[in-house]
Amino acid sequence: MKKHVSRSRVAGRCRAPPSKSYTHRAILAAGYAEDATVEDPLVSADTRGTMRAVSAFGGKVDRSRLDIGTLRVEGFGGRPDVPVDVINCENSGTTTRLVTAAGALADGLTVLTGDDSLRSRPHGPLLDAIEDLGGRAESTRRNGQAPLVVGDALPGGTVSMPGDVSSQFITALLMAGAVTEEGIAIDLETELKSAPYVEITLEVLQAFGVDAEHTDSGFRVPGGQQYSPEDGSYSVPGDFSSISYLAAAGAVAADEGGEGVLVEGAHPSAQGDTAIVEILDRMGAEIDWDEDAGELRSAGGDLSGIEVDVADTPDLLPTIAAVGAVADGDTRIVNCEHVRLKETDRVTAMAEELGKLGAEVTEEQDTLTVHGGESDLVGAEVDGRGDHRIAMALAVAGLVAEGTTTISDAEHVDVSFPDFWTVFDDLGATVTNA
């Protein structure tokens, strides 16, 4: 599907979708429990994959009350059944990694696969860790990529692994480790990238009554625990990755002298992507965040390029790059090599697609520099690369490009922000179907 975005001004009140990261963890945590309710979950292509996995492990996911924002989960009580079929995670890397460790707990074997993009993404360090902990874990092609085979009743123990490939490996082991016999201690061999995502995991584990902790060398979760949220329910906070596109839209295209874009549901949490508030403020946007009310207002200003380190906030790279194409001077995004391992290589994707719109961009292995002062954006046909974050970031750039920007693969926003195009349109963006 293609969407046309024409140069336009935006203003108004909107609401952030629930957090995808929290929803994945909450659904799986509910699966590890006996019975739990997840309130205000994000229902998207990715999180539906985690729901299917919980069902495959013997749980039951009742979606009949989603009209009032409630997902009821009858869990598998800490010990997953052996699935009767292959688990297809489609394009969800988070599902794959979290479920890989869960599948390793079963007495038999679990097979996981996904689409072409997912089958190109690395899982080797997680597979090695499961093997070192006494489970079975292998790639059918012996390249660390899906299809994956895991199982043999992972007992737990202590493992050493790198922290600079994916924080989801640590999350997967912490969530599974709580129900093993021995628990799991993780010693990190390298600096942890995307560290706030592990903090999200610790926050969700605590809410489900599971103890886990930092250690001098990494993390540890004792075994023999039970997942049980207080009052049987867990509420998902708003998603700051998604908020970033709305706040960026206000920063680059708000009505002059108007109220800008006000985003509801922007409550503080462990999400690293709350950094978008500080980043846009540093770039010169008019930012006002009422944390108690959960309201974030973003309006235009004299935007200037800055340097941003995305080691802990990889999902913000597309948003920052889009805003950088509008700002004066250079926006330099550093420590971004791991952003190449997402649904697509997002560093190259943003460099090439912004280039089609007339942006001057310099791409290096670990750095992306957008030369906003040398850029003059003009509408063109750009490729969303089958990646929700690329499509939404290009929509932000399309608000200020002269003429009309046509974005392919626009339907992939369903992965994290299913109502994105409707919300964008409601804010005043000129959006039409191809």
| Binding-site residues for 3-phosphoshikimate | 20-21, 25, 166-168, 194, 315, 342
pLDDT of residue 258: 79
Of the candidates 315, 330, 383, 409, the residue annotated as catalytic is: 315
| Residue 271 one-letter amino acid | Q
Q: Are strands 109-113 and 87-88 parallel, antiparallel or unpaired?
A: parallel
* 156 vs 335: CA distance, rounded Å: 33
For residue 304, the SS3 value is strand
The length of the chain in residues reads: 434
pLDDT for position 391 = 98
What pLDDT was estimated at residue 336? 97
pLDDT tens digit sequence for 370-423: 999 999 999 999 999 999 999 999 999 999 999 999 999 999 999 999 999 999
pLDDT at 196 over 80: yes
CA dist 12 and 240 (Å) reads 18
- What's the pLDDT at 256? 78
As given in the structure block, the two tokens for residue 190 are 């390298």
The phi and psi torsions of 335 (rounded to 5 degrees) equal 55, 50
Q: Is 211 annotated as catalytic?
A: no
Residue 422: per-residue pLDDT: 97
CATH dotted code for 20-235: 3.65.10.10
**What is the secondary structure of 364-411 as a DSSP string?**
-SSEEEEEGGG---B--EEE-TT-HHHHHHHHHHHTTSBSEEEEESGG
Annotated binding site: 20-21, 25, 93, 121, 166-168, 194, 315, 342, 346, 389
Cβ contact 153:135 at 8 Å: yes
pTM for the predicted model, two decimal places = 0.87
Of 51-55, 210-214, 339-343, least confident by mean pLDDT is 339-343
Known binding-site residues for phosphoenolpyruvate equal 20, 93, 121, 168, 346, 389
End-to-end CA distance of the chain: 7
- Residues 183 and 307: their CA atoms lie apart, in Å, by 41
Kindly tell me if the per-residue pLDDT of 257 is higher than 80.
no
Mean of all residue pLDDT scores within the chain: 97
Report the percentage of the chain scoring pLDDT > 70. 100
Give yes or no for a contact between 8 and 396, defined as CB atoms under 8 angstroms apart: no
Rounded to an integer, the average pLDDT of 234-248 is 97
Residue 170: its pLDDT value, please? 98
Segment 290-304 mean pLDDT: 95
The segment(s) of the chain belonging to CATH 3.65.10.10 are: 3-17+238-433, 20-235
CATH placement of domain 3-17+238-433: 3.65.10.10
Q: Residue 301: its pLDDT value, please?
A: 85
Q: What b/e sequence results for 331-359 when a residue is b if at least 16 CB atoms lie within 10 Å of its CB, and e otherwise? A: bbbebbbbbbbbbbebbebbbebbbbbbb
